[in-house]
Structure 1
Amino acid sequence: MLGCKKDESSNVVVNPSASALAFKSSVSTVVLSPATDAANVVSFSFDQANFGANVVTTYSLEFDLPTDTSGANAWANAVVVKLPQGAFTKAYSGADFNALTGVQLMMPTGTVSTLAVRLKAEVNQNTGVASTIKPVYSTITMTVNPYKAIVEYPALLVKGGNSWKTPAVRTNGFLLTSSKFNSKYEGYLNLPNADGYGGDAFQLVSTLDASKVYGWGGTATTMSLNSGNLYLSPSPAYMKVNADVDALTISYTAVKFFISGDDNGWSTSSTPLNYNATTGKLEAANVALTAGKSFVFTCNGGYDISYKVDASGNLVFAGAPVWGGINIPVTKTGVFTVTLDLSAGDGNYTYTIK
């Protein structure tokens, strides 16, 4: 009787090393701006993982802040991008990479920060049961400078009445926006008292449906569809305007903004911002600021209407009834021009110190 020997299986899984993946990015630094939106700003590439067996490997990229990449919950807040089968590269346009870093990861805009990117190679079982084969990771870091993207929220466009001529297209300074994509709209308007009754005559045209034109609702605080002109007063004035197209209500507050902070003893009246009719922004020139100190944009001598920043440095409403936000930090000592730009509508308010 002839003896026989069973061949040992060659289907043995061996995890590759991280270096074998040759994970890399095409650039080490990415500076983003509206001009780079359509361009390919970065590509990630890697080699196919060899587990030493005939297995199906899936890949994903994980993007996170370096502070979230260690400890018990490492990478828990990462943005995970799964790659198609057979893909060993992933390219990003400027717009997509800005959305990933500046919006999803909420990295600070207008400043250079470090981004951690991790490649994950894993073997999944077709039964859905978790695989016993450990994933292989390879991590790189790069620097990114995102920019604050202006989101085109739904808007109500100001249509001047009588002889008041307003832009025919969507223009900053002549709109109210809905930052939560609901019925509530907000913005700041300069009403030059064209020839309205007790104020400026205008209507509000919806960007979602141009046939919806909101006008006079019978009182100064109500609206109706396809009616006469709204007349808001006092005027001339720079106004905070809020409208609700479901409730058909509108409210308005004449406003005067100030810089209140450590450098002026938190005065709510000594450092005013003045409206620039050319730019549509509020400006204060020759403002002395000291590094390490902070300030708040206050209004009308108090804090009911005020603006601070969030943890990412974005300008946020901090007045009643919210009472939130972080005082705006001063990073350099000197004399500056401070600009508060409320012209793009709610959700797109910004400020600069130059």
Structure 2
Amino acid sequence: MKTYIYKLLVLCAVALLAVSCEETAELTTLQEVSFTSTVEASTKTIVISDDNSSEPVVALSWPAVAYPIEAPVTYALQFDIPADITGEKAWSKATRIVVGEDVLSKSLLGVELNKIAILLGLPVDAAGKIAVRVESYMDHTAYSEPIILTVTPYEAKPSGQIIMPGSYQGWNVDTAALFAPISVGIYQGYVSIPVGAGLGFKLNQERNWAQFYGAGASNQDLKNMSDTDFQMPGAGSYQMTVNLKTLKWNAVPYSWGIVGDATAGSWDTSTPMNYDHVSKTWKVTADLKPGNVKFRLNNSWTINYGAKNNDEGIMYLDNSGAHYVGEAGKYEITFTINDVNPALNGYPATGTYTVKKI
């Protein structure tokens, strides 16, 4: 009896395996399928700008592809430049967006199409061509015929701000340092941490506490509404960069200083200045003797400014001149310069300064 039951179980398993193999064979040997008509676009000429970046700029639709069995069909869109959609490597550089199962349309926001156009190498503020086709997939892939869109991408203008309340200024969001946008989602500015001040701070997008970032997995990670304070490396002046795309921040030592035979360090060692983030001015109070004063960055001659005379109140990039101090005493010195994103913009030709005896 046991032998009979065992044989019966074996026969059933073999039968089930055969059915499974038959179903698998059916799925992997499906007949050829195709799109019955072309992709439709609500418009084929799109000019993208700040005005429509957050709005739908084109709607694409296509017919359903009929496969021989009933199962979900996954659709995706492929975008490429017309020169790359023929030959052995056709569509190999395409940007692909999955639309979903049994979804037969897709609207693209201006910002989405703009990103695709930039990735494909279209120049900004100039009309370029983009080929679009639809991909369908069940157990094998079918493609629609491509259509051509004429797209004018643009360079998105940076906006917004980052506020840095912290121990260095009493946690007052109204007077905290402000970082300006240097590109979309990236902000840069300067801050000085006094000796003896606390090192904790937060990062806010407005001058209030409705929303803020604190430390996440590490001190450099931004986590929304985290109670853990970020920590500065120590006292000193820094160039701060906050990236909301990567949710990271960093601080690089950065300080303008005075140098010259009127200063304590003469021509060899700069006297560092502190950044006043309220007036956006570098300041120092120092004892000077008769002689010359120039300004240089990070105690190096790589970036330095000199005056043509004592009357203009202007310092010039890489100028050999200097401000002359005729009388020894205690002076308040200021230097104001537009040095936001110097890595991209370079350093400006001039900055303004004052040397005032107190």
TM over 0.5: no
What's the TM-score bracket when you normalise by the shorter of the two chains? 0.3 to 0.5
TM-score w.r.t. length of structure 2: 0.43
Q: Which has the higher helix share?
A: 2
Structure scoring higher RCO (CA < 8 A, sep ≥ 6) equals 1
TM-score (norm 1): 0.44
Over alpha carbons, which structure has the higher Rg? 2
